[in-house]
Amino acid sequence: MIKIGIIGAGRIGKVHAKNIAMFVPEMKIKSIADPFMNEETEAFAARYGIEKTTKDANDLLNDPEIEAVLICSSTDTHSKYIIEAAKAGKHIFCEKPVDYDLAKVHEAIETAKHAGVKLQIGFCRRFDHNHRAVYDLVQSGKVGKVNIIKISSRDPEPPPVSYVKVSGGIFYDMMIHDFDMARFLAASEVTEVNAIGSVLVDPAIGEAGDVDTAIVTLKFESGALAVIDNSRKAVYGYDQRVEVFGSEGCAQNENDIPNTAVLSNSEGTTYGTAYKVMWDRYTGAFVAEMQAFADAVVNDKEAPVTGMDGLYPVLMAAAATKSLKEGRPVKISEVE
């Protein structure tokens, strides 16, 4: 068993802490740090057997007993903490995205590489049972050569505008997962990105300088094409589907629903709506990515989602942002 520390005790920090305490016996959380540490988080820590709480992340970065850290703080702190943790010789799991600034992403990845520590990025959807099943079918060769990828990714509710303002925009915050999923499924790098967007859900999102509805098309080195659509609001819950169409067939999945009860009556046959909360929709994926991180660290394996996997979606987000602004397709080489 290795001792770990968590930086950032917000929503995702607590999800990972709970999952580790319940489902990852190889890791024991020694400390959790957050500058806004409060009684509620202290009680949370006590409930899940976390020894120490602190307002200062340096307490855990300087603790020689701690072998690995989870960076779950706000995005603008990720690259700084990757660099500090790597220099302190800790293995690192860092939430997505690594940073909005490409120079900082490169510096963080290089520092971790130079320090010889593992760096895993939190693209949890790679571990989702439905998406992984499509990936496995593609990898097995059953759909042949990949020609078209389609990803629909729609949230049940838009986030508060205060969040939108600091999120980096829909491409860095939301579609970043789909950029990762597209290159994961294509097993090829993207060369060109074309984005269109609208404000159709919440005018306040437009006033904050973002769009809430977007469609992006991608061209890959392999010649494959992809289309991703995002909406910040789907009234029927979390809509998360992927499809891979190839020379020999097509693999696709459907949404997860909380239960399989079906109502049939004179009006028709209905299923329940999809999950309404991200933590419920991706419960298994969040657990599996932590188990994979523990496996990489304890058994000295390569992290399953590397620093470079963290870089490419940021490049794609930069290209999509530029494409939307300039109204033209943007090559990855223009933003690299």
Ligand X SMILES: NC(=O)c1ccc[n+]([C@@H]2O[C@H](COP(=O)([O-])OP(=O)(O)OC[C@H]3O[C@@H](n4cnc5c(N)ncnc54)[C@H](O)[C@@H]3O)[C@@H](O)[C@H]2O)c1
Which residue of 30, 44, 104, 122 would you call a contact of ligand X, by CB under 6 A? Answer: 122
Residue 124 in tokens: 């949890």
Task: Rule CB under 6 A: say whether 74 interacts with ligand X.
Answer: yes
Which residue of 4, 6, 7, 98 would you call a contact of ligand X, by CB under 6 A? Answer: 7
CA 246 to chain centre: 26
Report, in Å, the least distance between residue 99 CB and ligand X.
10
Which residue of 53, 75, 153, 255 would you call a contact of ligand X, by CB under 6 A? Answer: 75
Task: Rule CB under 6 A: say whether 96 interacts with ligand X.
Answer: yes
Residue of minimal Cβ distance to ligand X: 10
What does the angle CA 234 – CA 238 – CA 243 come to, to the nearest 5 degrees?
Answer: 100
* Between 17 and 138, CB nearer to ligand X: 17
3-state secondary structure of 264: strand
Which residue of 4, 6, 9, 98 would you call a contact of ligand X, by CB under 6 A? Answer: 9
Report, in Å, the least distance between residue 232 CB and ligand X.
15
- Residues of this chain, 12-31, that bind ligand X according to CB under 6 A: 12-13
* Between 8 and 307, CB nearer to ligand X: 8
Q: Which one of 10-18, 46-54, 186-194, 236-244 is the stretch in contact with ligand X (CB under 6 A)? A: 10-18
* Between 4 and 12, CB nearer to ligand X: 12
Residue 76 in tokens: 């603008």
Contact pattern from residue 36 through residue 65 relative to ligand X, giving x for each residue in contact according to CB under 6 A and a dash for the rest? x--------------------x--------
Is there a contact between 281 and 256 (Cβ–Cβ < 8 Å)?
yes
Helices (DSSP H) in 150-216: which residue ranges? 161-166, 170-173, 175-186, 203-207
What is the side-by-side order of every strand in the sheet holding 146-154?
A: 250-252, 239-246, 146-154, 225-231, 213-220, 190-198, 330-331
- Dist. CA 8–CA 14, nearest whole Å: 9
Task: Rule CB under 6 A: say whether 112 interacts with ligand X.
Answer: no
Task: Rule CB under 6 A: say whether 317 interacts with ligand X.
Answer: no
Task: Rule CB under 6 A: say whether 310 interacts with ligand X.
Answer: no
Task: Rule CB under 6 A: say whether 11 interacts with ligand X.
Answer: yes
Is there a contact between 253 and 238 (Cβ–Cβ < 8 Å)?
no
How many residues of this chain bind ligand X (CB under 6 A)?
21
Task: Rule CB under 6 A: say whether 273 interacts with ligand X.
Answer: no
Report, in Å, the least distance between residue 38 CB and ligand X.
9
- Dist. CA 145–CA 140, nearest whole Å: 11
Report, in Å, the least distance between residue 134 CB and ligand X.
18
End-to-end Cα, the chain, rounded Å? 40
Task: Rule CB under 6 A: say whether 124 interacts with ligand X.
Answer: yes
* Between 220 and 286, CB nearer to ligand X: 286
Q: Which one of 24-32, 66-74, 113-121, 290-298 is the stretch in contact with ligand X (CB under 6 A)? A: 66-74
Amino acid at 267: E
- Dist. CA 300–CA 24, nearest whole Å: 16
CB atoms within 10 A of CB 103: 9
- Dist. CA 329–CA 22, nearest whole Å: 46
Pairing of strands 213-220, 190-198: antiparallel
Task: Rule CB under 6 A: say whether 73 interacts with ligand X.
Answer: yes
Q: How many CA atoms lie within 13 Å of 129's alpha carbon, on the beta-carbon side?
A: 8
Task: Tell me which residues touch ligand X (CB under 6 A).
Answer: 7-13, 33-36, 57, 72-75, 77, 95-96, 122, 124
